């Protein structure tokens, strides 16, 4: 099929790896007529919560009647998930057309874009061609040298700063913070849900040096939890104009309050830039936001949770959800983890956070050349004195988990979006496990 052939070309660009720097993407977009200059944007960086924050923004603006582009990464199952307008994925026909078009335009230029550079340029072209009102652009990695960092946004967001991609961004939180602060520009205020004093200080200093304003969670806005359950998160939002706004969201976990708070405050800033968004739009936008693979719950007997926590901070958020919600249910069964990680992650610290809550752990390998081998991960758990089960594939892991689970148990897939994406596709394709009667 032509689509699969062109997509294969795009994926073949992964052989050129990750090249942090802006010269390539600037050259590429210049050839294409700089489509990024023809769209209004919001830029979202941060270690965790970028996608959720971007999804909330897109949902609220859609409810307000705007045509909203959303560019995120990675995808769970299909490339088209990365590029959306008003919750509709880009069509395969448009992907096919744009890949061919870009290849034709750069032919003979000597330019060799990476996968992410090509995908980013494709998204910019798509949004510009469709004449959208605004696009929410998620950073791929870091910020300063990320391919998305050639836009001039209306608002920049830094969700948080934690340890991840240290081989590219530096070994300390301060190094990582400076890389993420690279998205701060004089044209746009910056909103952050980061709360660590030393990191906040860096963000504020960079913003001041750049000639723009910074707004922080806990200082300029907050989200006060009312109740967090396995079904909803209910909270009061307090910001600039909006105070005591009661909201309900299907995004689960206390950590999502930080993301939603940042998104709503960004909306407040946009209202000062000509966007017409009212409380009703925010209420419905928050209520309608979904973000697959992030504490996504499939009820049943047993229930299944898919959570793409792929670093230590993400696992901490999952642990807090287990403690604050799952272990407080009326009927508490066993928790069975299906766990797989990529080679560049701190698998040891992630495993250590899960072990106290695990009745069983099934080790598997993400379907990626970067996936950590099952044998190595088994040794890590053995170092904690834990005898884990193993499965060579996600499908085998899913079958094994269903086999050993009782009706009141919860199966949690986590450690990598590759693991979660494949598990989700299997569940949606063949259906959730048959509901068994409780004994």
How far apart (Å, rounded) are the C-alpha atoms in residues 399 and 396?
5
Residue 231's SS3 state is: coil
Average pLDDT, the chain: 95
Smallest CA-to-CA distance from 82 within 97, 63, 95, 93 is with 95
Residue 15 in this model has a pLDDT that exceeds 80: no
How far apart (Å, rounded) are the C-alpha atoms in residues 371 and 312?
17
Smallest CA-to-CA distance from 277 within 249, 312, 241 is with 241
**What pLDDT is attached to residue 434?**
42
Domains of the chain, earliest start first: 2-288 (3.40.1190.10), 296-430 (3.90.190.20)
How far apart (Å, rounded) are the C-alpha atoms in residues 307 and 315?
9
Average pLDDT over residues 90-98: 98
Q: What is the pLDDT of residues 276-327, one digit of tens each?
A: 999 999 999 999 999 999 999 999 889 999 999 999 999 999 999 999 999 9
15-19, 25-29, 84-88, 101-105: range with lowest mean pLDDT: 15-19
**C-alpha torsion angle, residues 274, 275, 278, 281 (rounded to 10):** 180
Please say whether the beta carbons of 159 and 49 come within 8 A: yes
CA 311 to chain centre: 12
Instruction: Give bridge partners of residue 192 from the DSSP assignment.
Output: 158, 216
How far apart (Å, rounded) are the C-alpha atoms in residues 36 and 99?
17
Q: Is the peptide bond before 228 cis (omega within 30 degrees of 0)?
A: no
Please say whether the beta carbons of 411 and 306 come within 8 A: no
Q: What is the pLDDT of residues 148-194, one digit of tens each?
A: 999 999 999 999 999 888 888 999 999 999 999 999 999 999 999 99
Please say whether the beta carbons of 391 and 400 come within 8 A: yes
Please say whether the beta carbons of 113 and 26 come within 8 A: no
Residues 6 or more apart whose CB falls under 8 angstroms from that of 409 comprise 302, 303, 333, 334, 335, 336, 359
Counting residues of the chain whose pLDDT is more than 70, the rounded percentage is 98
Residue 43: is it exposed, middle or buried by C-beta count within 10 angstroms (0-12/13-18/19+)? buried
Whether pTM exceeds 0.85: yes
């Amino acid at each position: 099929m032509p689509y699969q052939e062109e997509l294969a070309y795009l994926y073949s660009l992964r052989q050129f790896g990750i090249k942090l720097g802006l010269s390539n993407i600037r050259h590429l977009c210049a050839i294409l007529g700089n489509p990024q200059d023809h769209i209004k944007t919001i830029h979202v960086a941060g270690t965790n919560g970028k996608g959720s924050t971007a999804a909330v923004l897109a949902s609220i603006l859609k409810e307000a009647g705007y045509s909203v582009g959303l560019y995120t990464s990675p995808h769970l199952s299909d490339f088209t998930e990365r590029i959306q307008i008003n919750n509709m994925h880009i069509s395969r026909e448009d992907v096919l057309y744009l890949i061919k078009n870009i290849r034709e335009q750069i032919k003979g230029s000597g330019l060799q874009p990476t996968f992410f550079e090509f995908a980013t340029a494709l998204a910019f072209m798509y949004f510009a061609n469709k004449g959208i009102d605004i696009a929410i652009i998620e950073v791929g990695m870091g910020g300063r040298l990320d391919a998305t960092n050639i836009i001039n946004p209306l608002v920049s967001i830094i969700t948080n700063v934690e340890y991840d991609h240290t081989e590219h961004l530096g070994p300390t939180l301060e190094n990582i913070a400076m890389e993420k602060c690279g998205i701060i520009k004089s044209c746009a205020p910056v909103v952050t849900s980061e709360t660590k004093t030393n990191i906040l200080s860096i963000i504020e200093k960079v913003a001041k040096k750049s000639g723009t304003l910074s707004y922080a969670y806990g200082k300029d806005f907050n989200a006060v939890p009312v109740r967090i359950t396995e079904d909803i998160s209910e909270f009061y939002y307090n910001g600039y104009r909006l105070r005591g706004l009661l909201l309900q969201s299907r995004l689960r976990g206390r950590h999502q309050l930080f993301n939603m708070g940042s998104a709503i405050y960004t909306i407040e800033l946009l209202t000062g830039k000509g966007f017409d968004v009212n409380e009703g739009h925010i209420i419905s936008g928050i209520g309608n936001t979904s973000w697959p693979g992030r504490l996504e719950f499939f009820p049943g007997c047993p229930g299944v949770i898919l959570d793409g926590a792929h670093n230590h901070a993400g696992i901490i958020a999952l642990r807090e959800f287990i403690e604050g919600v799952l272990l407080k249910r009326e009927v508490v069964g066993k928790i069975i983890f299906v766990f797989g990680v990529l080679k560049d992650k701190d698998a040891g610290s992630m495993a250590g956070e899960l072990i106290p809550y695990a009745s069983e752990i099934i080790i598997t390998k993400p379907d990626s050349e970067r996936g950590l081998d099952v044998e190595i991960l088994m040794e890590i758990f053995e170092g904690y004195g834990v005898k884990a089960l193993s499965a060579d594939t996600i499908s085998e892991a899913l079958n094994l988990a269903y086999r050993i689970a009782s009706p009141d148990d919860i199966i949690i897939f986590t450690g990598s979006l590759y693991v979660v994406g494949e598990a989700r596709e299997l569940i949606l394709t063949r259906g959730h496990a048959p509901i068994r009667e409780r004994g």
